């Protein structure tokens, strides 16, 4: 599933292709359940004629800011991708939403698994979405102290807590495993038992794995592509994720895969001893 680096890459690659253009039509919307709000007829009515002002990201949501105070919020979920195509290019049947632009090109929302979601939000709706998510880990306001506050008193184990979007925005299964390995923290450590040194290490590790992944244009495990239809490269650089049985890059011990909260979790049993 796309996480912060993949959605950030999607937003950055989409922006230069669509900012300044006007949406002149909804050419296809054949899976209306993907539009969570407003009802599909109103969605079609409200979105047409609006110019695209900016494309950005909040947590794992890709936000297309439109004139008039509306924001098209898109969650790629399992298999969603957003790409831009010339007028002549046919949309394959996994493309469930097609937005036509004033220069004839079209934005395709391709979603094989149909878990992707779309919301057209006014200012209050956008504020609610923002409030439902924790701090952005790459924001300068996300300090080690801010992470310590977010973890204080939490008896939850650290790995599932990192996946909780209300605690930290944008982290998912891949980058939680990566950050914990880098910080030498066992995924089952109770969050509240991490000492200051461990929290400082985790803070740095979270930022490092996310920034590195963005530099590699995200990780493409299955469906993920950026706004130009290109795969990311970060899967070639995983530290620990999906490396069960392979040697730890620090100590050579075979990497273990365990299940935490029904999610595959990868760790080095020597570098990441259980504490707390």
Segment interacting with Zn ion (CB under 5 A) among 55-63, 130-138, 188-196, 266-274: 266-274
248 binds Zn ion (CB under 5 A): yes
244 binds Zn ion (CB under 5 A): no
Segment interacting with Zn ion (CB under 5 A) among 30-38, 124-132, 165-173, 263-271: 263-271
Task: Show contacts with Zn ion in window 197-236 (CB under 5 A).
Answer: none
User: Helix crossing, 196-215 with 4-18: angle to 10°?
Assistant: 40
Rounded CA separation 25/159 (Å): 43
Token output for 209 = 């794995």
* Distance in Å, CB of 235 to Zn ion, minimum: 20
Q: Which residues pair with 97 in a beta bridge?
A: 29, 109
60 is a catalytic site residue? yes
Size of the site for Zn ion (CB under 5 A): 7
270 binds Zn ion (CB under 5 A): yes
Rounded CA separation 1/147 (Å): 24
Out of 251, 261, 273, 274, which residue is the one contacting Zn ion (CB under 5 A)?
251
* Catalytic entry in 57, 58, 60, 159: 60
250 binds Zn ion (CB under 5 A): yes
2 is a catalytic site residue? yes
Q: Which is nearer to Zn ion, 215 or 251 (CB)?
A: 251
Segment interacting with Zn ion (CB under 5 A) among 51-59, 122-130, 206-214, 268-276: 268-276
267 binds Zn ion (CB under 5 A): no
The helix or strand, by DSSP H or E, that contains position 229, with its residue range, turns out to be none
246 binds Zn ion (CB under 5 A): no
Cβ contacts of 123 within 8 Å, gap of 6 or more = 69
* Catalytic entry in 3, 8, 65, 217: 3
* Distance in Å, CB of 251 to Zn ion, minimum: 3
Rounded CA separation 132/125 (Å): 11
Q: Which is nearer to Zn ion, 127 or 251 (CB)?
A: 251
114 is a catalytic site residue? no
Residue 125 per-residue DSSP state:
H
Query: How many CB atoms are located within 10 Å of the residue 191 CB?
Result: 24
Rounded CA separation 239/267 (Å): 10
Rounded CA separation 163/178 (Å): 13
- The SS3 assignment for 272 reads coil
The phi-psi region of residue 9 (left if phi > 0; otherwise alpha if psi is between -120 and 50; otherwise beta) is alpha
Rounded CA separation 67/53 (Å): 6
Q: Which is nearer to Zn ion, 183 or 271 (CB)?
A: 271
Segment interacting with Zn ion (CB under 5 A) among 1-9, 43-51, 234-242, 250-258: 250-258
Cβ–Cβ < 8 Å for 265, 188: no
- Are β-strands 256-260 and 263-267 bridged in parallel, bridged antiparallel, or unpaired? antiparallel
Q: Which is nearer to Zn ion, 132 or 246 (CB)?
A: 246
271 binds Zn ion (CB under 5 A): yes
Segment interacting with Zn ion (CB under 5 A) among 146-154, 183-191, 231-239, 262-270: 262-270
Question: Residues interacting with Zn ion, by CB under 5 A?
Answer: 248, 250-251, 253, 268, 270-271
**Residues marked as catalytic:** 2-3, 60, 263
């Amino acid at each position: 599933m796309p996480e912060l680096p993949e959605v950030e890459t999607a937003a950055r690659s989409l922006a230069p292709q669509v900012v300044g253009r006007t949406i002149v039509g909804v050419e296809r919307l054949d899976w209306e359940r993907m539009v969570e709000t407003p009802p599909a007829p109103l969605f079609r009515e409200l979105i047409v004629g609006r110019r695209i002002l900016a494309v950005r990201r909040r947590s794992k949501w890709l936000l297309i800011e439109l004139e008039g105070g509306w924001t098209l919020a898109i969650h790629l979920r399992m298999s969603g991708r957003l790409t831009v195509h010339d007028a002549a290019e046919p949309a394959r049947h996994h493309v469930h939403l097609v937005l036509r632009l004033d220069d004839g090109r079209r934005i395709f929302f391709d979603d094989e698994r149909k878990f992707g979601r779309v919301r057209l939000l006014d200012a209050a709706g956008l504020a609610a979405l923002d409030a439902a998510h924790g701090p952005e880990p790459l924001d300068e306001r996300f300090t080690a102290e801010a992470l310590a506050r977010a973890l204080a008193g939490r008896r939850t184990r650290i790995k599932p807590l990192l996946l909780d979007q209300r605690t930290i925005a944008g982290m998912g299964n891949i980058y939680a495993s990566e950050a914990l390995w880098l910080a030498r923290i066992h995924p089952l450590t109770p969050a509240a038992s991490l000492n200051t040194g461990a929290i400082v290490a985790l803070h740095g590790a979270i930022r490092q794995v996310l920034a590195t992944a963005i530099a590699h244009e995200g990780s493409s495990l299955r469906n993920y592509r950026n706004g130009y239809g290109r795969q990311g490269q970060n899967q070639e650089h995983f530290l620990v994720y999906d490396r069960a049985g392979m040697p730890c890059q620090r100590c050579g011990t075979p990497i273990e895969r365990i299940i935490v909260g029904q999610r595959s979790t990868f760790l080095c049993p020597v570098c990441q001893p259980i504490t707390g």
